[in-house]
Structure 1
Amino acid sequence: MSVIKIYINRNLNGVPDLRRIISLSFIIAVGLLLSSCQGSENKGNLYKAGMIVEGSIDDNPWNSKGSDGLLAVKKKFKVEIEVIENVKTEEEISKAVSELVNNGVNLIFGHSSTYGESFYELSRNFKDIHFVYFNGNYYNSNLTSMTFNSNAMGFFAGMLASEMSSTNEVGIIAAYQWQPEIEGFYEGVKYQNPNTNVNMEFIYDWNDKEVAINAYQKMKAKGVDVFYPAGDAFNEDIIKQASIDNLYAIGFVTDQFKVEPNTVLTSTVQHVDQLYLLAADMFNKGKLQGQIMSFDFKDDYITLGEYSPNVPKYFQTKLNESIEHYQETGLLPNQY
């Protein structure tokens, strides 16, 4: 008898509070069993993939997409996977990495930009392990940063916000000032309509929904009628509030059209789940290098989501054509 167990996640102390265990038992002839096992083994460099995440994989769309990506790695390469949640401090990161390595993981994903510095230090001690994280500037021979070039994403969101504003007041509520989509949003707004005013608020936290809602209310009082909530933990709350107030919003990270179809004009979608597959495939083939890898509309790792029927067809066409031109030339509309 062979029992296959796929354990998806647990916390740093090993408590199975969110563990999903799927067990499949089967009995077959020895010859067929050996044949099946040989046929299912991964023949490349990837033995086992692991992921650490700051909160829970169910906390927000960004974390959920990371989990989806790791599950896709398991399915494609037929390897075990392991996730450790609620890993935030330097001590917790070190402990989690050591635990994953001891459990046979040789490809570790850190599902946040905050893991960059710790991974840089740890990568020098674990030479046989490859580390991958997202949207950071640290890299090493066995450390890769997979970065979304989100300036263009913000630009096209800005164009749409400016076009759809009746008050000529639009707003972006972002977690941090360094987010590239902020500058892109501003430039896109001004390209579409120089008379539209851009309001900005920064939360200085990815997860503080209360502060984000307060920022929304402040902008609403100034006449903002289109919001771009550039934070995956609080964007849905702002979208729902905008719906109550009969205002517009643009989704972030995932396609959020179905959250409020009459409110969400479109979404700027980052396909981070597909980057998991890309990294695993390159690592499995021995081609994943220590570097900063950048991804954009040109790679189809960023796309726009479904359009609201409230967005005029002519402007949908204009946006789509502008994106196609950017994919072909690398030039945004204000650059030609």
Structure 2
Amino acid sequence: MQNKKKSFMILLTFLFLLSGCDYNVKKGQLEKVGLLIPETVNDQVWGTKGYKGLLNIQSKFEIDVYYKEGMNSEALVKRAVKEFHHKGVNLIIGHGNEYAEFFNHLADEYPSIHFVSFNGDAKKKNTTSLNFDGYAMGFFGGMVAAEMTKSNTVGIIAAHDWQPEVKGFMEGATYQNKHVKVKVSYVNDWDNEEKALALLEPMLASGVDVYYPAGDGFNVPVIERIKEKGCYVIGYVSDQSDLGETTVLTSTIQHVDRLYEHAAELYNDGKLQSGNLVFDFQEHVITMGKYSPLVEKKFQKKMDQHIQRYIKTGKLPNE
């Protein structure tokens, strides 16, 4: 009995040391993380994905995390950063491009905090902007749209004219189908559902039968309206196949949750660079979503081959 007890104590000591080693592997620069969201974490698209990324960080690094919603002005952001600082947060993520300029103003005041924004212009040594290169995902989405159109007319309702996925979609569509026409309208806002729906109506009347609503704040109501008309959609930002597999042909997905986790890992390891960083299919933070059963398996396989080639070589099908 004494020998069994001794063996049991040795085993417990070994497990304790093993767990201690695991902790040391995980422990790095990362202490606590704060997330600022302009609207809400419950929108099921952009805000929800950012919040999911924060929860992934909490789970992976076993640290305290905090978030604040409705952070849509510099004054609110300044107060939130001050509060996070008092709590010991040393990595703050601003879930949008508007935070880049706010963080540039605050960076010198909080040198112990690294500020991460999205699709902005980071100018200080403790600021980083994470950017998706949306051109390729737009190109592949355009290929699917051009393959599936029956009217040879596809349409884009985009948030802004600078979005690289818009140009990518246009060029992917014309590569796949030289007869296709691409109509484009701009909402000039990420969230204006009313304007997006108003821009949709003339496209529906003109015979557009495949759409790319490239604005995560308005694409769900636009897709619902398109579904009523029996037309097709390429989903945007999230895998939107759950909105109707006979409506959503596929989706161009930006895994911002994975990107934030990746950024936290880089920071923890002391490898997060300042400035503007760009990510694409190669980092597995952009992917294509589930295909509709209406898209032929042969074409799906061809698309997968194009994407794998792009991941390996950086070359699109027209290159």
Question: Deviation of residue 101 (structure 1)?
Answer: 1.2
Q: Report SS of the residue matched to 1:200.
A: strand
CA distance in 2, matches of 1:215, 1:230: 13
Q: Report SS of the residue matched to 2:241.
A: coil
What amino acid maps onto 1:174 in structure 2? A
1:89-108 to structure 2, matched below 5 A, reads: 89-108=73-92
Question: Deviation of residue 87 (structure 1)?
Answer: 0.8
CA distance in 2, matches of 1:308, 1:43: 43
Normalization by structure 2: what TM-score? 0.91
Q: Does residue 174 in structure 1 map to residue 158 in structure 2?
A: yes
Q: 2:48 aligns with which of 64, 70, 74?
A: 64
Question: Deviation of residue 60 (structure 1)?
Answer: 4.0
Q: 1:224 aligns with which of 187, 208, 216?
A: 208
Name the Cα RMSD after superposition. Answer: 1.9
Match of 2:8 in 1: none
Question: Deviation of residue 271 (structure 1)?
Answer: 0.9
1:199-278 to structure 2, matched below 5 A, reads: 199-278=183-262
Q: Report SS of the residue matched to 2:103.
A: helix
Q: Report SS of the residue matched to 2:40.
A: coil
Match of 1:321 in 2: 305
CA distance in 2, matches of 1:294, 1:179: 14
Match of 1:304 in 2: 288
Match of 1:165 in 2: 149
CA distance in 2, matches of 1:118, 1:235: 27
CA distance in 1, matches of 2:280, 2:264: 19
Match of 1:17 in 2: none
> Is 2:122–2:274's contact at 8 Å kept on the other side of the alignment?
no
CA distance in 2, matches of 1:91, 1:182: 33
CA distance in 1, matches of 2:180, 2:69: 42
> Is 1:147–1:293's contact at 8 Å kept on the other side of the alignment?
yes
Question: Deviation of residue 139 (structure 1)?
Answer: 3.5
After superposition, give the CA deviation of every residue in 1:212-255 in whole Å (9 maximum; x if it has no partner): 11111121111110000111121111111111111000111111
CA distance in 1, matches of 2:44, 2:213: 14
Q: 1:43 aligns with which of 22, 27, 49?
A: 27
Match of 2:7 in 1: none
Q: 1:75 aligns with which of 59, 67, 89?
A: 59
Bigger drift between 288-297 and 218-227 goes to 288-297
Question: Deviation of residue 194 (structure 1)?
Answer: 2.1
Q: Report SS of the residue matched to 1:116.
A: helix
Q: Report SS of the residue matched to 1:258.
A: helix
Larger Rg: 2
> Is 1:60–1:232's contact at 8 Å kept on the other side of the alignment?
no
Question: Deviation of residue 95 (structure 1)?
Answer: 1.8
Whose helix proportion is higher, 1 or 2?
A: 2
Match of 2:4 in 1: none
Match of 1:287 in 2: 271
CA distance in 2, matches of 1:235, 1:166: 22
CA distance in 1, matches of 2:96, 2:294: 34
CA distance in 2, matches of 1:87, 1:312: 44
Normalization by structure 1: what TM-score? 0.86
Q: 1:87 aligns with which of 64, 71, 74?
A: 71
Question: Deviation of residue 43 (structure 1)?
Answer: 2.7
> Is 1:60–1:233's contact at 8 Å kept on the other side of the alignment?
no
Unmatched 5+ stretches in structure 1: 1-31
1:142-157 to structure 2, matched below 5 A, reads: 142-157=126-141
Question: Deviation of residue 325 (structure 1)?
Answer: 1.2
CA distance in 2, matches of 1:333, 1:43: 43
Q: Report SS of the residue matched to 1:210.
A: helix
CA distance in 1, matches of 2:318, 2:44: 33
What amino acid maps onto 1:44 in structure 2? G
In percent, how many aligned pairs have the same letter? Answer: 44
Whose strand proportion is higher, 1 or 2?
A: 1
CA distance in 2, matches of 1:82, 1:260: 34
Q: Report SS of the residue matched to 2:318.
A: helix
CA distance in 2, matches of 1:60, 1:87: 18
Match of 1:135 in 2: 119
CA distance in 2, matches of 1:219, 1:97: 44
Question: Deviation of residue 172 (structure 1)?
Answer: 0.8
Unmatched 5+ stretches in structure 2: 1-12
- The count of aligned residue pairs is 303
